[in-house]
């Protein structure tokens, strides 16, 4: 079993829809949770960063962490064609020396105009 | 803004050649990473470094080596390139668990 599981998709939704992206994990030591967005032929860029449990909102994006269920989510409201990208979840445990992240496989998302 | 640069965006090499991929970051980060990214396999860690001249193997180090002579520069070396090393290579540096990625090098080995 992989430490982090993410549905690779692809996921295709109409513009304006609410998108839900999810990851599950098995390591209860994970404390740092991140979502990265990667456009085609580019490097990933950090979208959301959460420490421990709870919700975090930034504009149209909301990140949720449920440590009891070992489940994290990214919600995109009022989705736009410019949100079309691959979304990767990533996580790490506290005290990992070099701050190594464990990544999900990535979900490819397309928003159709 | 943190900037991570990689020496080439696209590279074509022949089987058996020695290949150098260079990565430079401008924020004085101690930790640097090399990944490869392949369809269906996600990001896989090749090597990482937590200080100058210090390195550790990641999940798939076979066929690769690294060099970190200066804090800002982390090089990935393919000693004898093979066709199964055709991939997108991504470099990153880290501050407080946030990884900053370079634009990637798409390497094709013929």
CA dihedral sign, ordered A49, A55, A59, A60: positive
For B79, residues 6+ apart whose C-beta sits below 8 A from its C-beta are B18, B63, B64, B65
What pLDDT band is residue B11 in, cutting at 50, 70 and 90?
very high
The average pLDDT across B64-82 equals 96
Q: What is the DSSP letter of A53?
A: S
The CA-based angle B73-B106-A96, given to 5 degrees, is 50
Render pLDDT for A76-87 as a digit per residue (tens, 0 to 9): 999 999 999 999
Identify the residue among A7, A40, A44, A97 best suited for mutation to test binding to B, counting B beta carbons within 10 A and taking the highest: A44
- Asked if pLDDT for residue B42 goes beyond 90, the answer is no
Whether the predicted pLDDT of B2 surpasses 70: no
pLDDT on residue B9: 93
Place A97 in a pLDDT band, splitting at 50, 70 and 90.
Answer: low
Chain A interface, Cβ < 8 Å to B: 8, 32, 34, 36, 41-46, 49, 88, 90, 92, 97-101, 103-106
Please give the mean pLDDT across all residues of chain B.
Answer: 94
Q: Determine contact, residues A3/A92, Cβ cutoff 8 Å.
A: no
- Flag the least confident range among A52-56, B21-25, B58-62, B84-88: A52-56
Q: Is A107 left (phi over 0), alpha (psi -120 to 50) or beta?
A: beta
Give the Cα separation of B89 and A51 in Å (integer). Answer: 28
For A43, which of B48, B49, B103 is closest by C-beta distance?
B103
């Amino acid at each position: 079993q992989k430490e982090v599981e993410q549905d690779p998709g692809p996921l295709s939704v109409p513009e304006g829809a609410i998108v839900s992206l999810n990851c599950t994990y098995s390591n209860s030591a994970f404390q740092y949770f991140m979502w990265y967005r990667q456009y085609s032929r580019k490097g990933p860029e950090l979208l959301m960063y959460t420490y421990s449990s709870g919700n975090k909102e930034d504009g149209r994006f909301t990140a949720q962490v449920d440590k009891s269920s070992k489940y994290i989510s990214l919600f995109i409201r009022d989705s736009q064609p410019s949100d079309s990208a691959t979304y990767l979840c990533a996580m790490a445990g506290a005290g990992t020396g070099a701050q190594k992240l464990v990544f999900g496989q990535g979900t490819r998302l397309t928003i159709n105009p | 803004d943190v900037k991570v640069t990689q020496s080439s965006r696209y590279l074509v090499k022949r089987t058996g050649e020695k290949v150098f991929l260079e990565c430079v970051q401008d924020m004085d980060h101690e930790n640097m990473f090399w990944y490869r990214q392949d369809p269906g396999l996600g990001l896989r860690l090749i090597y990482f470094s937590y200080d100058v001249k210090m390195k550790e193997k990641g999940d798939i180090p076979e066929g690769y080596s690294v060099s970190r002579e200066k804090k800002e520069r982390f090089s990935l070396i393919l000693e004898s390139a093979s066709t199964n090393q055709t991939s997108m290579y991504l470099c990153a540096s880290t501050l407080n668990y946030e990884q900053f990625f370079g634009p990637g090098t798409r390497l094709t080995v013929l």
